[in-house]
Structure 1
């Protein structure tokens, strides 16, 4: 048996799939594509998470696009984080190209251009379905981890949430949260201390500064109503294809705190909402997190621990997480160890640090007699990748350098008119894009303060009125006492005295 035939059989050993699967491309040996040596990923194992890594320009985004398209075709909804703004083309079919036809001929797959059902979402003021969540939905524990506060400050936040629950004060947005923090150490200090104990102004001041940091990165746009319902990520179109939900994040690269806040809230909401799925034949939702280092590099230790915990647990909900980044070392080891599918595009060895990173990356893949993994990582071309997946029994499939198939949709962005047409047909835009600012803690506390001030002014006015009345009473009393009795007035008059003296004079005579 020659080397090519042996290699072909070796690859086929990993394709004993009885259920549905996704074909990523065809395996390569000695730099050449082996036609029909398909590299397949069972749909059943797609909720085991994954990694798409590689240097700039090696084809990571196109791999993401291929996976999203094929998942959609299988009826699995997808959520994409579009940091670079180049994924909206999924809504339009590929115009085709001679090089694409040549690539697919080598792979042994037909090329069929297609458009896919797409929903455009946004965290900011960009066009798209607005994503929001309320402070109450986050809860005190998650808010504390996002703000990266001390243990004492986290305790204060928990007590404040309890106060709001007890007094029916909805915490919806950041102005609500800021208002209640100010209230507990100012106008409502006595009331709060009586029921919940004293809290220091230094602690609430520190928490307020953390909130301002989130606010400056656009948190005031994210926190509020109407809250996005994660079930809307699970829609399928009339033909049974899963919707590809694309979150536009092109203006958020310099706001890592907001990005990690959103990601953590989304994962937490999905985990608490989705039912346990167990070991089913297909995932419920697949999420692709592009530029994953934005989450991990800026995350606090507490936030990182929370993300790692959710990654480990969310698989049971039928949700798969796929991290897209330049180097596998961008992803913490605790997360990396949980990943079932690894698609590694070329890495570049420009420095000693790069060479060390390549050696570490090579160790993440199964040993094989057909490749020198560290060497092939630097020689892969654009649209080629090392692929290691899990079979239906959870075992690693044979490592394969793979000629990746081309996306069926457009490998470019939508025009402005195409984007507007897509948004005008969106049911979710109509559902979520009207901003709601109902009466919540901010308004209720202001009203309470105004009522207290009004009562205080009323009480002050009443006291002033009573004091004035008392003063007038005393003045009146003095006036009345100074007024002479009429009889006394007659008896003391000059006429009366002269008359009396006249009578006495006559008697004496």
Structure 2
């Protein structure tokens, strides 16, 4: 809901001098925080912000924890309390719907989102797998070996094949890179199995997401709202946090430096932000801090949504210039510390006690402070939040399916592909390494052995698989399925008979040839 050129109307202050509380688009890439206890109106505030950015032509990405944000895709209703709130703000309530694209890591409630193992990187993957320092070191060696040999790591089977290679060549690799222990490799393999059982194999693969598909506008110039279905993903907190942090890092790496624009290129809402920082190693926290500090120069705004401001580290919290604080309940000592911390981060208003106000706020009411023209925080104000124009509440499954069916990205990511990568390359390498041994085995017995092999192939004893189309994913091109036990027994018998016949014929030929030479 726009309040004027270059701003988003978020609410209206309720003090002695009421005024519109607006977020300036030019300063929206300085990041923000939406905090408050459960049921105090955080999701509605997030929806109001997303609608405002969309109307301003700014694409949005937001994780939908409970399914409520999906209502953005449908027009709201002129409910009495919405109409009344709009009148209190001095505006007319106008229901509207917004261009929306649904995404889902598991591909059930939206387009699948995938990234490759290489794009995920060893740091995030180690956290996702809950590895210790030694196991993380082995994982780093694996990535280094893959990089130096140009073995693409796309999905989990690629990583498994690479770890098997490390295990089989541990002695040589340990001399070059450091200790590669079988115990660490086994622990990583077990963690990969757990990850696969949780459905992460659907996230790691191709086609990988093109981040430009997040930064789209419709024909009317409104930004698309990209909604990630996160209700199931939230049951795997580490996967959720690692996925969103991967997205931030990819945006940082791929987008060019643009400085301060008139409006952001993309706004990223990180709901349940505490999951990003829980039990995170220092290296990861440092990476998050650096991302938040530098990504604004790429034209990206990051907004953390969480229950308690203490969930966000101080080094990150200090960089969040635009803030909306809903009510907090001070029932425990930690809650009381959170209230004090939240109150102290605002630019104080002499008109009221900020700490006390945080505990008294009603649903749909918040303390707000946005960056002013020169980039300084405004004095905190107690404000009524504007009503959203889209539906408040989730879409029905039929409505969601209809929107997905009409999506501009329909068909682009829906089907997984399995391109040649480390798995196939390592299988081919293993085949080539075993070829000299097979040739030496066939050459045993001299000419008679060679003839035995030739006759064996004529009688069907050859081991070369007929060329043809592969029968399954990951089996490689031109390979036949493994023979059954009965086929192996019959094949071995046929080869044995063929070699025996070949040897006898070969010996006879040699005797005749040698006999002819001696007579001369």
TM range (shorter): 0.7 to 0.9
Change over 3 Å in CA distance of 1:166–1:375 after alignment to 2: closer
Q: Tell me if structure 1 keeps the 8 A contact 2:326–2:366.
A: yes
Rg larger for: 1
1:402 and 2:388 correspond: no
Q: Which residue of 2 aligns with 1:169?
A: 151
CA distance in 1, matches of 2:4, 2:81: 33
Q: Using the TM superposition, give the Cα deviation of residue 446 of structure 1 relative to its aligned residue in structure 2, in angstroms.
A: 2.2
Change over 3 Å in CA distance of 1:426–1:76 after alignment to 2: same
Q: Tell me if structure 2 keeps the 8 A contact 1:256–1:298.
A: no
Q: Which residue of 2 aligns with 1:282?
A: 263
Give unpaired runs (5+ residues) of structure 1: 1-16, 481-509
CA distance in 2, matches of 1:300, 1:196: 23
Q: CA RMSD in A?
A: 2.8
Name the SS for the 2:290 alignment partner.
helix
Change over 3 Å in CA distance of 1:200–1:355 after alignment to 2: closer
1:256 and 2:237 correspond: yes
Change over 3 Å in CA distance of 1:85–1:455 after alignment to 2: farther
Pairing of 1:241-320 with structure 2 (within 5 A) = 241-320=222-301
Q: Using the TM superposition, give the Cα deviation of residue 393 of structure 1 relative to its aligned residue in structure 2, in angstroms.
A: 0.9
Q: Tell me if structure 1 keeps the 8 A contact 2:443–2:449.
A: no
Change over 3 Å in CA distance of 1:100–1:180 after alignment to 2: same
Quick one: which of 6, 9, 12 aligns to 1:26?
12
Q: Which moved more, 1:354-363 or 1:260-269?
A: 354-363
CA distance in 1, matches of 2:88, 2:118: 55
1:373 and 2:354 correspond: yes
CA distance in 1, matches of 2:355, 2:124: 41
**Which structure's relative contact order is higher, taking Cα pairs within 8 Å and 6+ residues apart?**
1
Q: Any idea what the Cα deviations from partners look like across 1:158-196, whole Å, max 9, x if unmatched? A: 44334333433221011101111111222x557757876
Q: Any idea what the Cα deviations from partners look like across 1:75-102, whole Å, max 9, x if unmatched? A: 0000001111111110011011111111
CA distance in 2, matches of 1:29, 1:165: 61
Quick one: which of 52, 71, 86 aligns to 2:68?
86
Q: Tell me if structure 2 keeps the 8 A contact 1:80–1:289.
A: yes
1:68 and 2:20 correspond: no
1:116 and 2:98 correspond: yes
Aligned length: 454
Pairing of 1:411-422 with structure 2 (within 5 A) = 411-422=392-403
Q: Which residue of 2 aligns with 1:356?
A: 337
Name the SS for the 1:185 alignment partner.
helix
CA distance in 1, matches of 2:184, 2:85: 62
Q: Using the TM superposition, give the Cα deviation of residue 124 of structure 1 relative to its aligned residue in structure 2, in angstroms.
A: 1.2
Name the SS for the 1:428 alignment partner.
coil
CA distance in 2, matches of 1:79, 1:155: 33
Q: Using the TM superposition, give the Cα deviation of residue 368 of structure 1 relative to its aligned residue in structure 2, in angstroms.
A: 1.2
Q: Any idea what the Cα deviations from partners look like across 1:40-95, whole Å, max 9, x if unmatched? A: 11111111111111111111000000000010000000000111111111001101
Q: Which moved more, 1:86-95 or 1:439-448?
A: 439-448
Q: Tell me if structure 2 keeps the 8 A contact 1:148–1:300.
A: no
CA distance in 1, matches of 2:282, 2:190: 19
Q: Using the TM superposition, give the Cα deviation of residue 454 of structure 1 relative to its aligned residue in structure 2, in angstroms.
A: 5.2
Change over 3 Å in CA distance of 1:24–1:468 after alignment to 2: closer
CA distance in 2, matches of 1:354, 1:189: 51
Q: Tell me if structure 2 keeps the 8 A contact 1:257–1:298.
A: no
Q: Tell me if structure 2 keeps the 8 A contact 1:278–1:318.
A: yes
Q: Tell me if structure 1 keeps the 8 A contact 2:60–2:225.
A: yes
Q: Which residue of 2 aligns with 1:204?
A: 185
Q: Which moved more, 1:248-257 or 1:115-124?
A: 248-257
**TM-score normalised by length of structure 2:** 0.81
Q: Tell me if structure 2 keeps the 8 A contact 1:19–1:43.
A: no
Name the SS for the 1:437 alignment partner.
coil
Q: Tell me if structure 1 keeps the 8 A contact 2:128–2:239.
A: no
Change over 3 Å in CA distance of 1:135–1:153 after alignment to 2: same
CA distance in 1, matches of 2:314, 2:73: 35
CA distance in 2, matches of 1:463, 1:191: 31
Change over 3 Å in CA distance of 1:29–1:178 after alignment to 2: same
Q: Which residue of 2 aligns with 1:329?
A: 310
Q: Tell me if structure 1 keeps the 8 A contact 2:442–2:449.
A: no
